[in-house]
Amino acid sequence: MNFETNEITAQVAQIARDFAVQHIKPHVMEWDESQEFPLHIFKQLGELGLMGVLVPEEYGGAGLSYFEYKAIIEEIAKVDGSIGLSVAAHNSLCTGHILNFANEEQKQKWLPKLATAEWIGAWGLTEPNTGSDAGNMKCTATKDGDNWIINGTKNWITHGKSGDVAVVICRTGEPRAKNNATAFVVERGTPGFSGGKKENKLGMRASETAEMIFENCVIPDANRLGEVGDGFKQALVVLDGGRISIASLSLGIAKGAYEAALQYAQERHQFDKPIASFQGISFKLADMATEIEAANLLTLEACDLKSKKQPVTKVSAMAKYYASEVAVKVSNDAVQIFGGYGYTKDFPVEKHYRDSKLCTIGEGTSEIQKVVISREILK
């Protein structure tokens, strides 16, 4: 691994940083309080190429690597984790699934619209009663001539109501049977496909999380991604990349909280000294900086493996697990350093604290990451 940030990565990070400060930062609490999904922001990000980061230029994307992708998510999440979450879900889940498993005709049809954010993407795996137990999903697709009929509900779906197109993993075999799921692309406006309840969340409140409901939703076989029965295998590959997304998101939140705490600790005086001069505070800052650096290196290793098309399952799970737990710990310590002010909405760390917890749950809980890691090391 080369630990130096290359020029392209640095330039892309600067673009994302400038955009976040100029267009996102002034509205963070407004969107948080109202739970507004600021669609116009994602359209602007699309114009900058930040909604099709990994998509090759031939399909209208930026054609960049996972290193640039990591930098983009981080810089946005430093300012607002919820915007970072939506950028990550659009890029790595919906768009990533089509990029990895669609045929050429399907790529030409959907990727250009997703890469430019003309269309916002959603990805449906989780259901009300099958979170980690995805092999037992209830949402089914039944073959009917040249069509498939989808019935069921997906929940906890980013852009479940506002997304223009969704990749949906449906059960096409018996519950818990091997190779019992298949992935399909469903466009908004298809009869029988609707958005359901929008969740009222602790954090990440400007990122829309909602149900997707399918009631005798008929789609053509041309919308099937890959072979019948390969849906769950495809999902695991998509989640390998998605875990790099959440690790990067976690890093951004952690860095945002740490940088705010570092600055505050040097400005806030008690007993005629900056509170950073007291070991109780300086040692907290030392732990925060060390843990962020360790999480960063794990995430960079995952990016490196992914870019080289080498096996990444173990390292991406480690990066996601460790970085997400670090985000929670660092955000918690940042609130403590701010004291009473940290508990108010006048300072940024309370939002970092609320946003951070989702990182230990979404795209595989910390407990599931331990399952993945232990399986890999015990092979």
H or E element: which one contains 321? helix 313-338
> Residues 171, 134: contact at Cβ < 8 Å?
no
Is residue 363 part of the annotated active site? The answer reads yes
**Strand ranges for the chain from DSSP E:** 121-124, 140-144, 147-158, 165-171, 181-187, 193-198, 209-220, 224-225, 269-270, 273-274
Burial label, 272 (beta-carbon count in 10 A; 0-12, 13-18, 19+): exposed
User: What is the number of H-type helices and E-type strands within the chain?
Assistant: 12, 10
Q: At what angle do helices 81-88 and 39-47 cross, to 10 degrees?
A: 60
Alpha helix locations (H) across 50-201?
66-79, 81-88, 96-101, 104-115
Query: CA 60 → CA 11, 110, 123, 164, distances in Å?
Result: 20, 10, 20, 17
> Residues 337, 261: contact at Cβ < 8 Å?
yes
Say which of 57, 104, 363, 376 is annotated catalytic.
363
Q: Which of 197, 236, 220, 233 is nearest to 141 (CA)?
A: 220
Give 303's contacts (C-beta < 8 A, 6+ positions apart). Answer: 65, 66, 67, 69, 70, 244
Q: At what angle do helices 279-307 and 313-338 cross, to 10 degrees?
A: 160
Rounded CA-CA distance 207/225 in Å is: 26
Half-sphere exposure of 46 (CA within 13 A, CB side): 20
Query: CA 341 → CA 137, 141, 264, 338, 344, distances in Å?
Result: 44, 52, 10, 5, 5
Q: At what angle do helices 279-307 and 231-267 cross, to 10 degrees?
A: 150
Phi, psi (rounded to 5 degrees) for 312: -130, -5
DSSP for 185-225, please give it: EEETT-TTEEEEEEP--SS-TTS-EEEEEEEEEEEEGGGEE
Q: Which of the residues are catalytic?
A: 363
